[in-house]
Structure 1
């Protein structure tokens, strides 16, 4: 039975969030635009994650490397123990970022949920097709199951390209006969590899971070790499929005209202609802792509992550008591 999806608009953008958007628009976005016009493999994609090695961890976080079938991962136990676990899949357009860039964000999600976090250092483009990244996500899910975590206490989460992997990992796990996780959380997710819908959005140029050229380049790289992959039928990779979604667990999607990927979040919510999957779509006023990563600077990021904790605790069977109620819009904090 189809489920009605009514986006929850979270109004107001703090001064700090507006300053962040302006800074990204005039610094990072132009650099990404240049890469989008000349997406050569000579660009040092791994440099970003290497540089992030020097970021301090969140307070009390103690991580250890683990080995999955074809890639590494990092396990951060829950503070004080706990029965929940988060499988986290980082963003970066399938091309960059990694455990270092996303360690603090993954830890914050784990703290909000009260769970240990397994972050997967999945294989990436252009060396590997996206299907290999999905397989690595499934391997991470098996790792949690093999260590005794109840699937009803596991949530799969990811941001941007990791949002794509969140959905595809859950779908692949179901196809393999594995039990369903308790919930899925997608932050500013990429859900459609076809760039047409994003480029046709009238607000596409308003995105403070991602230029059009990056969306086009990513689609071209994905198609070129997947032509070499025999497992990908016709050299194409399935997108979550084009998949059979029936049977997925409850989903939370959070996205900024001016993001390049806003159409992907909206379309995915509609497709999930049509498939009868309970879905909550939160649209945060003028927040940048994966604003959650700026929790040290932007008050909206902390509130969004707190709402992730509320959602997951409800999905895993714990009562949630919220000041504003689970569906009420939050008032913007002062900068």
Structure 2
């Protein structure tokens, strides 16, 4: 591993991660490339979450379905309660899936791991996706859940918003819109391979071809549907938002994935604006690899680093700026 300012590069990839990379290149990417983007095709992708919902619930966790601001969610808690700076905190998690598929079940393992490591409740949000609504609809649901949590959380000043891929987009939008509306902002934002720019076609096409399973052609095909319908409050792409609106940020990307360029751009912007940011880029991984949770060593490491970052950030909110973590000790 090697640190460059706010960015840490990780060069060690486990065997399980490399196997996942090969499977995605050989099987998943070709399927995604040719899957129809019609309403019927998008509806069929939702069976992934239905299948995942049949898997056993992670051990030693309580999963409680409920409505938050009218949005279906589930609250995942671990018997161990957080102490110190983490006491009273909560994590609002937005799953990824390109605003098309995935849901509470596909991300239950990751949310459970976050709950177990942190000792704080993790609330996973089932926001509307295509073809039910465009990105604007997803943002509306995300804000409805967040504003409702402000009224019900144990400590509204200790709400952390998090998400992977499309969910990372929503986490960033919640932070931005909270600032625009003048309401309590999240204490921190966590983005695992976050979608920060909807104009991905502007990046180097040769680099974009190297993503292990996200086909650029399909992303461009979906863009018009992402942006159709409801207006998106604030900036269309979070990377263009005012850096002052971004709370302390923890960002993760794989070395070769579509979303890494904008993770680096966002990191540079936050550093220039003197905003706290910690970024990790990992070789030999697939897009949003922390979602694999305990299946890969790197997923467990990233969750540990995430919890450490949240704890330091919450402690710093009382005593001053957060200090960089020595990742070699994790």
What interval of TM-score do these two structures reach, taking the shorter chain for normalisation? 0.7 to 0.9
2:226 match: 222
Structure 2 CA distance for aligned equivalents of residues 129 and 70 of structure 1: 18
- Would you say 1:209 and 2:216 are equivalent positions? no
Q: Secondary structure at the match of 1:54?
A: coil
2:186 match: 181
2:46 match: 46
| Bigger RCO (CA 8 Å, 6+ sep) | 1
- Would you say 1:120 and 2:125 are equivalent positions? yes
- Would you say 1:21 and 2:25 are equivalent positions? no
236-245 or 13-22, which moves further after superposition? 236-245
Q: 1:290 to 1:51 in 2, by over 3 A?
A: same
| CA RMSD across the alignment | 2.3
Q: Secondary structure at the match of 2:16?
A: helix
Report the alpha carbon displacement of residue 214 of structure 1 after superposing the two structures with TM.
2.0
4-13 or 105-114, which moves further after superposition? 4-13
TM-score by length of structure 2 reads: 0.88
TM-score by length of structure 1 reads: 0.87
Structure 2 CA distance for aligned equivalents of residues 259 and 232 of structure 1: 25
The alignment of Structure 1 onto Structure 2 pairs a total of residues equal to 314
Structure 2 CA distance for aligned equivalents of residues 159 and 90 of structure 1: 6
Identify the match of residue 253 of structure 2 among 255, 259, 277: 255
> Which stretches of structure 1, 4 residues or longer, exceed 4 Å deviation after superposition?
none
> How do 1:133-148 and structure 2 match up within 5 A?
133-148=138-153
Q: 1:232 to 1:84 in 2, by over 3 A?
A: closer
62-71 or 157-166, which moves further after superposition? 62-71
Q: Secondary structure at the match of 1:313?
A: helix
2:85 match: none
Structure 1 CA distance for aligned equivalents of residues 128 and 235 of structure 2: 15
Report the alpha carbon displacement of residue 5 of structure 1 after superposing the two structures with TM.
5.6
CA contact (8 A) 1:11 1:284 kept: yes
CA contact (8 A) 1:68 1:136 kept: no
1:76 match: 76
Q: Secondary structure at the match of 2:40?
A: coil
2:236 match: 238
Report the alpha carbon displacement of residue 264 of structure 1 after superposing the two structures with TM.
2.1
Structure 2 CA distance for aligned equivalents of residues 267 and 218 of structure 1: 23
Structure 1 CA distance for aligned equivalents of residues 302 and 80 of structure 2: 23
Structure 2: gaps (5+ residues): 83-87, 319-323
CA contact (8 A) 2:161 2:188 kept: yes
Deviations 1:90-133 (A, max 9, x none): 00001111111111111112222221011111111232121222
> How do 1:265-276 and structure 2 match up within 5 A?
265-276=263-274
- Would you say 1:111 and 2:110 are equivalent positions? no
Identify the match of residue 276 of structure 2 among 269, 278, 295: 278
Structure 1 CA distance for aligned equivalents of residues 126 and 66 of structure 2: 10
CA contact (8 A) 2:257 2:286 kept: yes
Report the alpha carbon displacement of residue 45 of structure 1 after superposing the two structures with TM.
2.3
2:307 match: 309
Deviations 1:53-89 (A, max 9, x none): 1122221111111113342111123433341100000
155-164 or 72-81, which moves further after superposition? 72-81
> How do 1:47-66 and structure 2 match up within 5 A?
47-66=47-66
Deviations 1:188-212 (A, max 9, x none): 11100112244x2532222111112
Structure 2 CA distance for aligned equivalents of residues 5 and 172 of structure 1: 28
CA contact (8 A) 1:256 1:286 kept: yes
